[in-house]
Amino acid sequence: MKLHVIHNITYRYSAHVVLAPQHILMRPRENHHVSVNSFKLTTEPETKLFWSRDHHENSLAVAYYYDRVEKLVVRTDFEVETLERNPFEFVVRLDAARYPFDYMPAESAMLAPYRDSPDGKSRPLLAWMRSALHEFPDDSLELLTQLNQTIREHIDYRTRIEPGVQAPDETIRERSGTCRDFANLMMQACHALGLAARFVSGYLYDPTLDPDVPPGTLHAWAEVYLPGAGWKGFDPTHAILVDEHFIPVAVGRGPANLNPVTGAFWGAKDTRSELETSVEIREA
């Protein structure tokens, strides 16, 4: 599937401000299932972008501004081709097909950052999973697909404009959350099970999922490392595995620092900022 994406982000300030370096995570992650055919990133005011790969191999652009501004606009316009039509087309290594399993020593060392919950609170999560799932299937993939489905069945999706991500216990207690909260719950539930998992931010295009919302939107999901299959995406917001409708942009140990644009500004004490964002995705 070829998808054309236009993403606009606008910050407006109530007075002139000086911008700190702005860190931009908006270029899709390429792999054997995602190819970037074209990509253009522009900002207003114009400036030179310094590109690098961060410690998670995300494509990071840093923009430096030297004049005082009242507005910052960041815009991407790109085309990608996604190929993962059947998300179940993989083979789990025999020694990992049954849960629980141990990662091989070399894998375990590399995956260590993705196995520990950032807040270390695994016991309440395990209790909730035992209650919700009743019993843990001994088939590793079945366990993950059931967990993915269970989160969707027990948690109601709602839009929340406030920044940040809810802790898993808050999402469980409130029984509601955004896609960020769903993904964080899935990731940390996998950590509690001893599985390597990470947070993913990107885009979702699928007009068949919800006719009442635009077919293209910013989205978040989780990836779990299954030996033999590698990193596999699970979207608990829709209780599906990640396929050709998903465009990954950035991954991390958690949701922190994965916003499309991150950066401070300096101005008068009472200076306010407003954010506007729009995403347009269509088949190319």
Collapsing DSSP states into helix, strand and coil, what is residue 133? helix
pLDDT of residue 164: 86
Whether pLDDT at 281 is above 60: yes
Task: Examine the pLDDT at 219 and tell me if it is beyond 80.
Answer: yes
Burial of 240 (0-12, 13-18, 19+ CB in 10 A): buried
pLDDT in tens, 22-47: 999 999 999 999 999 999 999 999 99
Would you state the pLDDT for residue 111? 96
Q: What is the mean pLDDT of residues 93-105?
A: 96
120 pLDDT above the threshold of 60: no
Encoded tokens for 97 = 């097909």
- Average pLDDT value for residue range 249-260: 94
What SS3 class is residue 173? helix
How would you classify residue 164: left for phi > 0, otherwise alpha for psi between -120 and 50, otherwise beta?
Answer: left
The 10s digit of each residue's pLDDT in 50-85 is 999 999 999 999 999 999 999 999 999 999 999 999
**Token reading at 191:** 């950590």
Q: Which domains does the chain possess?
A: 2-82+259-283 (2.60.40.2250), 94-243 (3.10.620.30)
Furthest-apart CA pair in the chain: how many Å? Answer: 61
A 10 A CB-CB count for 246 gives 23
CB 92 within 8 A of CB 56: no
Mean pLDDT score across all residues of the chain: 94
* Sign of the alpha-carbon torsion through 209, 213, 217, 218: negative
The CA distance from 219 to 265, in Å, is: 26
Q: What is the pLDDT of residue 159?
A: 84
- Given this model, what pLDDT does residue 215 score? 82
Mean pLDDT of 189-214: 89
Output the pLDDT for position 117. 60
Q: At what angle do helices 140-154 and 123-133 cross, to 10 degrees?
A: 90
First vs last C-alpha separation in the chain: 8
pLDDT at 227 over 80: yes
**pLDDT over 90 (residue 100):** yes
Please report how many Cα atoms fall inside a 13 Å half-sphere around the Cα of residue 21, on the Cβ side: 9
Q: Report pLDDT digits (tens) over 121-180.
A: 677 898 899 999 988 999 999 999 999 999 999 999 988 777 789 999 999 999 999 999
Which DSSP letter does residue 138 get? S
Residue 24: closest CA among 96, 76, 79: 76
Closest CA to 51 of 36, 65, 61, 64: 61
**pLDDT value for 234:** 98
pLDDT score of 226 more than 90? yes
Q: State the amino acid at position 2 in one-letter form.
A: K
